[in-house]
Chain A
C-alpha cells in the first residue's frame, strides 16, 4: 500500500536560518507531489507541485523553494526564514488521471521565532 512520510513533525527555527523539509512516498511510482501551507486558522494554500523528477511549479511568490531529486522525494527549502513562514506544512501525493483526491503526510508544524 502507498504511504507518505514527512519529517520533522515540529520545528522551531530562528529568523534568518535555513529550512529543509523532506517528504517521501512509498508504494507508488511517478506520483504528483504537492507542498501546502496552512497558517493558523486559515485554509490550505498550495505552494508547489511536481509532476516528475526535476519538474517544479510554483503557485505563489514567496521565500521558499522546492526540489524533486528523486521520483518519490520532495523537498521544501528556504535560505533565510521569515516570521511569516510559520505555519503547518503539508506534503501530499496523487496519481495522475485518478480522481481519488490527495493523500497528505502528517505535516510539519514550523514556528519561526
Chain B
C-alpha cells in the first residue's frame, strides 16, 4: 500500500464550480500535513498546511480526519488559474520528518 494515496483524476470542472480532492495516508503516526500545487513542468509550491481543526485560506479549505487517516482540499469558485496538479503531503517522526508526497490529483478548470 502506498504511504499517501490520491485519486489521479483528472477532474474537469467549469469555472465557478466547487471541487474537492481527497487523500488517505497509511501511517497513523503522521504528524504534519500539507497541500502543494504543481503547475505543468514546474516545481511544487506549498499551497497550505492542514491543521487538525481544519483551516481556510480564501477559496481553499483543508480538512484533516486523523481517525480515518484522511485529508481533503475544497476549492470554491474555481478559476482557470486553479488548473494544476495538487499534491497531498504528510510527514512523521517515522519518516525522519521527511515529506512523503502523493502522486497528485490533476485539476482542469474550463471556461
Which residues in A have some Cβ–Cβ distance to B below 8 Å?
A: 34, 36, 42-44, 46, 49, 88, 90, 99-107, 109
Contact = CB atoms under 8 A, between A and B. Distances in A.
Interface of B: 32, 34, 36, 41-46, 49, 87, 89, 96, 98-104
Contact of B34 (A42, A44, A101, A106): A101
B98 A99 contact: no
Contacts, number: 42
A43 B101 contact: yes
Given A46-B99, A90-B43, A102-B99, 13 more contacts: A36-B101, A44-B44, A49-B96, A99-B49, A101-B32, A101-B34, A101-B36, A101-B46, A101-B99, A104-B45, A105-B43, A106-B43, A107-B42
B102 A43 contact: yes
